[in-house]
Copies of this chain bind each other. A is one copy, B any other.
Amino acid sequence: MSTSNSLRSLNISNISPHVKEAKYAVRGELAVRSEEYRAKLAKGDASLPFDQVISANIGNPQQLDQKPITFFRQVLSLIEYPPLLEKEDVLLNQLGYKKDVIARAKWLLKQVGSVGAYSASAGAVGIKNSIAKFLEQRDGFSADTKDIYLSAGASSGVNTLLHIICASPNTGVLVPIPQYPLYTASLAVLNAKCVPYYLDESKNWGTDLGAIKDAYKKAVAEGIDVRAIVIINPGNPTGASLTEEDIKGVIDFAAQEKLVVMADEVYQTNVFTVKFTSFKAMLRTLQKEDAEKYKNVELVSLHSISKGMVGECGHRGGYFELCGFDPEVVEQIYKFVSISLCAPVVGQCLVEMMVNPPQEGDESYELYKQEWDGIFSGLKKRATALNDAFKQMEGVECGEPQGSMYLFPTITLPPKAVEAAKDEGRAADEFYCSRLLNATGVCVVAGSGFGQKENTYHFRTTFLAPGTEWVGRITKFHKEFMDEFAE
């Protein structure tokens, strides 16, 4: 018992054990250290072996190079300071605003009153109407405004749903491994069970229905009450996109075992290789084919303004749509979200513009399209360049970039490095990433932060940073590391 224990109300031994258990490496020790390095550099400290920190640990597009979409931000400037709308002439003729910007700002203000006012708990109705329209166009199936909930990014939506689902320490949720650690961290905080199912690295991190079924059976045999399955599509950290057949397989399985499907679809526009298919579209297609079999499938799909070409994560906006939930359960979801009042209203407005951007013929369309396409092709180019660099590195293997904002290469580490890591009390890939940060200022996240099969090592890096200089730094470090720990 430390001295502190007897002096204060709270100490490490008596606070919530569930919070303690949660792990969130994306913003863990290395991220904190990278910020210390950044602060040192800003103060002119020349003692570090690099002159710039690259935060490749987190998908934070606008921290790196991605510019906001002009239409979005022009509208936001007007709704933040509505008296500008009285100067239409100045806006149009001297500041380069277009008429559709002004019209959208006026429309949004009509929906929310003031962006400084709380909206209804589940979000402003007019904005939810736009989301419903977007879903109808995207999927070809009807969507209902009352099933839509605005949230502060997708994370807050996940938090809401898991709070409802997790009824006891025995509640289990199937989670892909590797996964974005929000899921395991939230389940730890909620004192519920993560039921891991492994993605198939040999098939470029594809979803393996066999692995899902095995994980489920094993958990049920252990007495776990498995209630839901999480799918991240496109994948984080892997970028892998599910095929239509995979999606159907998951829905079939969920229908059979009565599992809530949580479809994290925040990277739906970050796809390079296959066309994105939403779980909602597939569910409705299946329901048309066999209403009886699929009618009670519970699906929640989540989306966000943080990723894609929007990249407005600092604004904290997102939504989720509920399909097939019991109305009494929906009431509890509503109550739960109402306790935190409402999602940030500016974030809600950005969601509206994301789902209802300028259309061909609108005055802002051309610039919007040009910006959108520029960001998309820039991301693809960077992903390819980074992957090309990995191909040159000894012991590093990485599938072709498929989507999201990340690459997740395997690294084969020399036994001496694994030993050295053990001596430091670290996982071997964490040891590698720590060394990488110290040598290059590039911050990535070790595979152990996302989960991986035993004795395999990975790291996740975003491909958001511009230029190739930082990639060169990684290549150089890697060679030196491999040399240092060679047999």
Q: In this assembly, does A106 line the interface, its C-beta being within 8 Å of a C-beta of chain B?
A: no
Contacts of A15 in B (CB 8 A): 164-165, 167, 329, 332
Q: In this assembly, does A189 line the interface, its C-beta being within 8 Å of a C-beta of chain B?
A: yes
Q: In this assembly, does A387 line the interface, its C-beta being within 8 Å of a C-beta of chain B?
A: no
Q: In this assembly, does A396 line the interface, its C-beta being within 8 Å of a C-beta of chain B?
A: no
Least CB distance, A253 to chain B, in whole angstroms? 12
Produce 1/0 per residue, A284-312, CB < 8 A to B: 00000000000010100000000000011
Q: In this assembly, does A195 line the interface, its C-beta being within 8 Å of a C-beta of chain B?
A: no
Q: Is the CB of B35 within 8 A of A120?
A: yes
Of B8, B112, B114, B336, which contacts A22 at CB under 8 A?
B336
Q: In this assembly, does A148 line the interface, its C-beta being within 8 Å of a C-beta of chain B?
A: no
A321 vs B484: C-alpha distance when bound (angstroms): 45
Of B11, B118, B315, B347, which contacts A63 at CB under 8 A?
B118
Contacts of A16 in B (CB 8 A): 163-167, 332
Q: Which residue of B lies closest to A74 (CB)?
A: B81
- A63-B10 contact in complex given A81-B77, A119-B314, A326-B4, C-beta closer than 8 Å: no
Q: Is the CB of B9 within 8 A of A118?
A: no
Q: Is the CB of A313 within 8 A of B10?
A: no
Q: In this assembly, does A14 line the interface, its C-beta being within 8 Å of a C-beta of chain B?
A: yes
Q: In this assembly, does A440 line the interface, its C-beta being within 8 Å of a C-beta of chain B?
A: no
A16 vs B60: C-alpha distance when bound (angstroms): 33
Q: Which residue of B lies closest to A327 (CB)?
A: B4
Of B90, B156, B328, B340, which contacts A12 at CB under 8 A?
B328
Contacts of A472 in B (CB 8 A): none
Produce 1/0 per residue, A3-24, CB < 8 A to B: 0100111111011110110101
Of residues 44 through 67 on chain A, the ones whose CB sits less than 8 Å from some CB of chain B are 58, 60-63
Q: Is the CB of A164 within 8 A of B19?
A: yes
A68 vs B112: C-alpha distance when bound (angstroms): 14
Least CB distance, A191 to chain B, in whole angstroms? 9
Q: Which residue of B lies closest to A119 (CB)?
A: B314
Q: Which of A14, A118, A344 has its CB near the most chain B CB atoms (within 10 A)?
A: A118
Q: Is the CB of A296 within 8 A of B8?
A: yes
Q: In this assembly, does A213 line the interface, its C-beta being within 8 Å of a C-beta of chain B?
A: no
Q: Is the CB of A62 within 8 A of B116?
A: yes
Produce 1/0 per residue, A72-88, CB < 8 A to B: 01101110110110010
Q: Is the CB of A339 within 8 A of B95?
A: no
Least CB distance, A122 to chain B, in whole angstroms? 10
Least CB distance, A295 to chain B, in whole angstroms? 8
Contacts of A73 in B (CB 8 A): 80-81
Q: In this assembly, does A369 line the interface, its C-beta being within 8 Å of a C-beta of chain B?
A: no
Chain A contact-residue range equals 35 or more
Contacts of A155 in B (CB 8 A): 339-341
Produce 1/0 per residue, A84-113, CB < 8 A to B: 100100100011000000000000000011
Q: In this assembly, does A218 line the interface, its C-beta being within 8 Å of a C-beta of chain B?
A: no
Least CB distance, A351 to chain B, in whole angstroms? 13
Q: Is the CB of B118 within 8 A of A338?
A: no
- A167-B17 contact in complex given A9-B227, A78-B77, C-beta closer than 8 Å: yes
- A329-B76 contact in complex given A90-B90, A120-B35, A341-B153, C-beta closer than 8 Å: no
- A114-B62 contact in complex given A19-B332, A340-B155, C-beta closer than 8 Å: yes
Contacts of A4 in B (CB 8 A): 326, 328
Least CB distance, A289 to chain B, in whole angstroms? 19
Least CB distance, A337 to chain B, in whole angstroms? 9
Q: In this assembly, does A185 line the interface, its C-beta being within 8 Å of a C-beta of chain B?
A: yes
Produce 1/0 per residue, A148-172, CB < 8 A to B: 0000110110010001111100000
Contacts of A336 in B (CB 8 A): 19, 22, 189
Q: In this assembly, does A335 line the interface, its C-beta being within 8 Å of a C-beta of chain B?
A: yes
Q: Is the CB of A63 within 8 A of B113?
A: yes
Q: In this assembly, does A462 line the interface, its C-beta being within 8 Å of a C-beta of chain B?
A: no
Produce 1/0 per residue, A31-45, CB < 8 A to B: 000010001000000
A260 vs B250: C-alpha distance when bound (angstroms): 47
Least CB distance, A194 to chain B, in whole angstroms? 14
- A24-B339 contact in complex given A19-B163, A77-B84, C-beta closer than 8 Å: yes
List of 3 A-B pairs having minimum Cβ-Cβ separation, nearest first: A314-B345, A77-B81, A27-B338
Given A7-B258, A16-B167, A159-B340, 16 more A-B residue pairs with CB atoms under 8 Å apart are: A8-B258, A10-B227, A10-B326, A16-B166, A24-B338, A60-B117, A61-B116, A68-B114, A76-B80, A84-B95, A116-B315, A156-B340, A163-B189, A185-B339, A186-B339, A315-B346
